[in-house]
Structure 1
């Protein structure tokens, strides 16, 4: 029996199960990994938006992660919603001490349009982007970070996701210092059940990297998983419903 890659997700909890650590656990498990969590915030949310949120302390966030690292070990890390600049810096301090691939999903704006990070938190993201092997902004997040040119000037690798851009094709572009831009495109799947796609993409990439895949292969696998889950969405909720992780085989 092959030992599953150990994937630590540092992210918020989504009470409706579609995004955050719940989406990460489903994704990691379906892709053959072993999921561990460090919860940064507890949210009351559903397919229509975020109704309430309680950010945890940096100390308890780091303690959760450290407990996993010290005993189980870790092969890759996925970072999602952080909730405060203090948590962002505390997570950066922690990750500077370990040498595993880190995938950073700079969660700022939910599918519903709710803002999940303030200006100070965005500024604190700089350290995490430098630590990560890949940062995965969607269109609004990329704009908040300075668009493609602004992020390229940081000298980091990032996947500019195109799901929020208009058009019949969804185009994702990988930018890496010293490499030619790599592009993936596919026909848009007509659905409003897209809650948790960003979380799922980032945790799927982290799982691939933890299993030993090269970055381009991990992204390709993750894109296929997300597209399959979009097509298998169960149709729950009155707004942007969850995708169908459990139906992907």
Structure 2
């Protein structure tokens, strides 16, 4: 899959898709075009049955510097309805990535600020490098991290968010790991191997079950499951009755490879 101006999108034979922010000269800052293309890519990846895992990466030394300055200038010139439309596009893009029914791994090879942290927060796993720095810089500009807020607060918790949203200070990769924004920190030379290890683990799992498990975590954590007991019982029964569930149990009992495992 291709055809983007601000992104690169490639899928290997195993079904691992690499979605790469590709504005290195602008530190991969998000403008209107990138926001629209990320939303489109999320939709395409969600419906592509050949894709089993998505890696969100970027080119150049910076993962994502947040909002593009020209895009922010353009937003400032718009009337309120225009501002609402711009914010809505950003919010819906983040929502589409957050609800992607495939595992989303963040490959963070450098610094991330503002909206870049929002992109990290919608990933299921984030691997970054030693020396990377992060900051929610919006209040320095008289703004707030609003559209990314729901995802960042859920990721790091209210206590850490109260500090980092308000004071805009930089924090290092080790702190990002301690507060839950980052899953693991690796030396630069080990980043790709760490991402590959995470991606390969998903390939041993049934894709439908992975998608259902991701949805379950999201609904339980956000209180949208209704009665959690009844919900969990029904979902387990659904998986037992699914083609994957039957095939997995049969393969296990008969000591055969799982049908979805890499050949």
Structure 1-normalised TM-score?
0.34
Look at both structures and tell me which one has the larger radius of gyration over its CA atoms: 2
Relative to its length, the structure with more helix (as a share) is: 2
Structure 2-normalised TM-score?
0.33
Relative to its length, the structure with more strand (as a share) is: 1
- Bigger relative CO (Cα 8 Å, ≥ 6 apart): 1
